[in-house]
Amino acid sequence: MALLLPINNILPQFGQNCFLAPNSTIVGDVITGDDCSFWFNAVVRGDVNFIKMGNKVNVQDGACIHCTFEKCGTTIGNNVSIGHHAIVHGCTLHDNVLVGMGAIIMDLAVVHSNTIIAAGAVVLENTICEPNSIYAGVPAKKVKDISGELVKGQIERIANNYVKYAEWYKGS
């Protein structure tokens, strides 16, 4: 069973049809929408500030979501995939965002809708990522615009697939 802990008497709140892997950890002021999934060894710590997520957010294996005390919470929109071992910290991710494996997004950064953060990219504090773009590198820079076709083919496909994968585990 997933580790769910209250912080200052605040327990995580989940929407409908969410999946929590048995060794995921979700604590404190975390509120999710529907069809979210938290995979193996994912850590979501709403202990020092809030974490709010929309619908169809998947937090993949080993990913960490956190925030900064008295500075910034973390807000995540709908249809967001947070790749394996990514770190999302005190920032805002709008709708239809794909955070690649091992990427890091720092405090007060904003990733606008329909954007991909490439695997291993580091989005520095206060960076604003334009919509409909791919960001890559250390530090992350815009490398190209993306089409609506790529948004559907990658970002939406992955978010929808993780809803499907979660159903496989619920039936076990």
Kindly report, residue by residue over 108-145, the tens digit of the pLDDT. 999 999 999 999 999 999 999 999 999 999 999 999 99
Of the candidates 36, 49, 38, which has an alpha carbon nearest to the alpha carbon of residue 2? 38
pTM (2 d.p.): 0.97
What SS3 class is residue 152? helix
CATH number of the CATH domain containing 157: 2.160.10.10
Number of domain units in the chain: 1
- The pLDDT confidence band at residue 152, using thresholds 50, 70 and 90, is confident
What tens digit of pLDDT does each residue of 86-113 get?
999 999 999 999 999 999 999 999 999 9
Of the candidates 95, 100, 90, 101, which has an alpha carbon nearest to the alpha carbon of residue 127? 90
Q: Is 150 exposed, middle or buried (0-12, 13-18, 19+ CB in 10 A)?
A: middle
CB 84 within 8 Å of CB 64? no
Which residue has tokens 């202990």?
47
The stretch 60-68 carries a mean pLDDT of 98
What tens digit of pLDDT does each residue of 4-53 get?
999 999 999 999 999 999 999 999 999 999 999 999 999 999 999 999 99
Structural domain boundaries, residue 147? 3-170
